[in-house]
Amino acid sequence: MSQVFLLLTLLSFSSCIQVSSAASLKTLMARWMMYRDECFRNISREPPMAGLVCNRTFDKYACWPDALPNTTVSVACPWYLPWHKEGKTQHYGRILSQFRTMYTIGYSLSLAALVLALGILVAFRKLHCMRNNIHMNLFASFILRASSILIKDAMLERPDDFHVGQDITTELETAVGCRVAMVMMQYSILANNYWLLVEGIYLHSLLVVTVLTERNYFAIYQCIGWGAPLTFVLPWVIVKYLYENEECWVQNINMEYWWIIRSPILLAVLINFFIFIHIIKILVSKLRAHQMRYSDYKLRLAKSTLTLIPLLGIHSVLFSFVTDESTSHGALSLRLTKLFIDLFFNSFQGLLVAILYCFVNKEVQSEILKKWRRWKLGRDIEEEYRHTYSQSLQMKSGSIMVHPSNLSRLPDIATTTSRLGSPEEKQMLVSNSQNEEPSQENIYNQRCWINGRLRKRYT
């Protein structure tokens, strides 16, 4: 028995239980006795194996079953030990690693799609309106969120961070850089949620308010989207610096400080959810009023609802009240389910928004198609003009080939032309070039005629 007492004493001193040594040893001794009695009951209850075996036994540390000769048997870590849950922790760590791979892919795809979508909306001036301006700010908030999360993860992965024996100056610079990335991540998450709220407010105002002065309201929307998050991030930074200034500010030791960030996000999510419900009611009433005109009004309603979910971030309502405190003790499956849904939808939400409100938008597709037609026609007219000009030179000089130096004097009209409306317009350009001498006055008249046709068509 003295050997058992010595073993348990060493285990209690090597454990991480933050209580007094006497209480730790007493608790460990009681748990060991329960484990021993359970082992003896299992040994006496189970029938022995037939043949030559290594007998089951309790070696004062673990309960061992029967085993065949020349075989190796492994058992789980005894549950009376303070660190018996370490295996579950390792399994939990592997799941988190898989989640991280998933959301890294999601944020990377969203980042690429959002940069392209934002570039398209910025490039086409005809798309600049209140609705698309709000979309562009929302895209920018998604880009900032994805970038800050990827940068934060990259900084936490660096092997030299907070290394033992590291130079104090280098360690301080690393900690400051990591904290700046953490602050930017929290700000971008808040800004993203509040631009989602702006989308909901604007959509609701379009359906409810009859007269809306958009120019005056856009400044208010910008204050809500970019300014409101600062009023919550700055107090959080001050509190973290004064009371939890440890390493990268990743861990939330005091959960009350974490509510400085979480409460405004929860408020924005709930407001958007009620706006979503009201918008659905308005859509139902409007579609029912036009039920005789639209026989597929239920399909239209479902389509509108599914389109609004990623735009307003309605998926965040599912586990809004499942907090970290409520899942810190037990309920591991609920915690993992909440974490998976949050990470999956948040990482791929930017990709869905870019697809729904830019890439498949008919207005955007129409502008891109016009741009493509203009560029294509510019090349077609330039080739046709060069061809007719060379034919005119051949008819005038009676030669078969045209010297390449003559082609360099051709005017560049690719930047001033776009697709002609009909084959007759092209034929007119060809006939003018063939019937008249290619003088500077003739070239000037043709270019003026082309520009006039284009101005009439595209303005």
* Highest mean pLDDT of the ranges 97-101, 143-147, 356-360: 143-147
Task: Give the separation between CA 137 and CA 66, rounded to whole angstroms.
Answer: 68
- How are the residues of the chain apportioned to helix, strand and coil, as percentages rounded to the nearest 5? 75, 0, 25
Contacts of 115 (CB under 8 A, 6+ apart): 143
Task: Please give the residue that has the higher pLDDT: either 253 or 276.
Answer: 276
pLDDT class of 29 with cuts at 50, 70, 90: confident
- State the pLDDT at residue 420: 46
Cα(first)–Cα(last) distance of the chain, in Å? 98
Are 223 and 183 in a shared domain?
Answer: yes
User: Does residue 174 contact residue 160 with C-beta atoms inside 8 Å?
Assistant: yes
| 307 assigned to some structural domain | yes
How far apart CA 346 and CA 103 sit, in angstroms, is 8
Q: What is the mean pLDDT of residues 281-295?
A: 71
Q: Which of 358, 378, 398 is the last residue of a domain?
A: 358
CB 125 within 8 A of CB 365: no
Range 27-54 average pLDDT:
81
- pLDDT for residue 45 is more than 60: yes
- Residue 453: partners with Cβ closer than 8 Å, 6 or more residues away: 420, 421, 425
Q: Are residues 354 and 378 in the same domain?
A: no
Q: Which residues pair with 58 in a beta bridge?
A: 63
Range(s) of the domain holding residue 426: 369-458
Last residue of a domain, one of 358, 382, 415: 358
pLDDT at 254: 80
The pLDDT, as a whole number, for residue 392 is 67
Token pair in block for residue 29:
């001794």
Mean pLDDT to the nearest integer, 379-388: 72
Is the same domain home to 160 and 307?
yes
Inter-CA distances, 147 with 157, 350, 365, Å = 15, 12, 27
Residues 307 and 214 in one domain: yes
Q: What's the confidence (pLDDT) of residue 435?
A: 46
397 or 380: which leads in pLDDT: 380
In a domain, residue 184? The reply is yes
Check whether residue 146 and residue 249 sit in a common domain. Answer: yes
pLDDT of the residue at 175:
76
At residue 161, the 3 state secondary structure works out as coil
Query: Domain total for the chain?
Result: 3
Q: If we measure between CA atoms, which residue out of 27, 11, 10 comes closest to residue 19?
A: 27
CA distance 351 to 328: 32
pLDDT at 271: 93
Of 84-98, 147-161, 381-395, highest mean pLDDT:
147-161
Same-domain check for residues 420 and 276: no
Which has the higher per-residue pLDDT, 237 or 40? 237
Q: How many other C-beta atoms can be found within 10 angstroms of the C-beta atom of residue 408?
A: 7
The answer to whether 278 and 204 have CB atoms below 8 angstroms apart is yes
Q: What is the pLDDT of residue 6?
A: 46
pLDDT digits (tens, 9 = 90+) for 170-200: 456 667 888 899 999 999 999 999 999 999 9
For residue 361, is pLDDT > 70?
A: yes
Q: Which amino acid is at 76?
A: A
Percent of all residues in the chain with a pLDDT value above 70, rounded to a whole number: 65
The overall average pLDDT reported for the chain is 75
Summarised one tens digit per residue, pLDDT across range 318-347 is 777 666 655 554 566 777 888 888 899 999
**33, 41 Cβ separation under 8 angstroms:** no
Residue 222, φ and ψ in degrees, nearest 5: -65, -40
- Using an 8 Å Cβ cutoff, are 190 and 233 in contact? yes
* pLDDT above 90 for 416: no
User: Which residues, in sequence order, are CB contacts of 139 under 8 Å at separation 6+?
Assistant: 114, 117, 118, 121, 350, 353, 354, 358
Looking at the domain assignment, is residue 75 inside a domain? no
- The CATH number of the domain holding residue 150 is 1.20.1070.10
- 93 vs 100: CA distance, rounded Å: 10
Q: Cα 111 vs. chain centroid, distance in angstroms? A: 7
Pair 184, 297 in one domain: yes
Q: What is the dihedral of CA 59, 61, 66, 70, to 10 degrees?
A: -80
Residue 35: inside a domain = yes
257 vs 160, which has greater pLDDT? 257
Residue 293 falls inside a structural domain: yes
* pLDDT surpasses 70 at 44: yes
In this predicted structure, the answer to whether residue 232 has a pLDDT above a threshold of 80 is: yes
> For residue 381, is it within any domain?
yes
- pTM of full prediction above 0.85: no
Q: Of 22, 46, 64, which closes a domain? A: 64
Is 250 among the domain residues? yes
Q: Which residue has the higher pLDDT, 280 or 459?
A: 280
What DSSP assignment string belongs to 309-323? Answer: HHHHTGGGGTTTT--
**Is the pLDDT reported for residue 115 higher than 80?**
yes
Distance of CA 13 to the CA centre of its chain: 46
Instruction: Indicate whether 160 and 229 sit together in one domain.
Output: yes
Please report, rounded to a whole number, the percentage of residues in the chain having pLDDT higher than 90. 24
Asked whether residue 202 falls in the same domain as residue 128, the answer is yes
Higher pLDDT, 254 or 225: 225
Number of H helices, E strands in the chain: 14, 2
CA distances from 142 to 192, 242, 273, 313, 352 (A): 6, 30, 19, 12, 11
Residue 160 lies inside a defined structural domain of this protein: yes
pLDDT by residue (tens digit) across 417-434? 444 445 555 555 444 444
Both 139 and 180 in one domain: the answer is yes
Considering the domain architecture, whether residues 54 and 198 belong to the same structural domain is answered as no
Same domain, 402 and 316: no
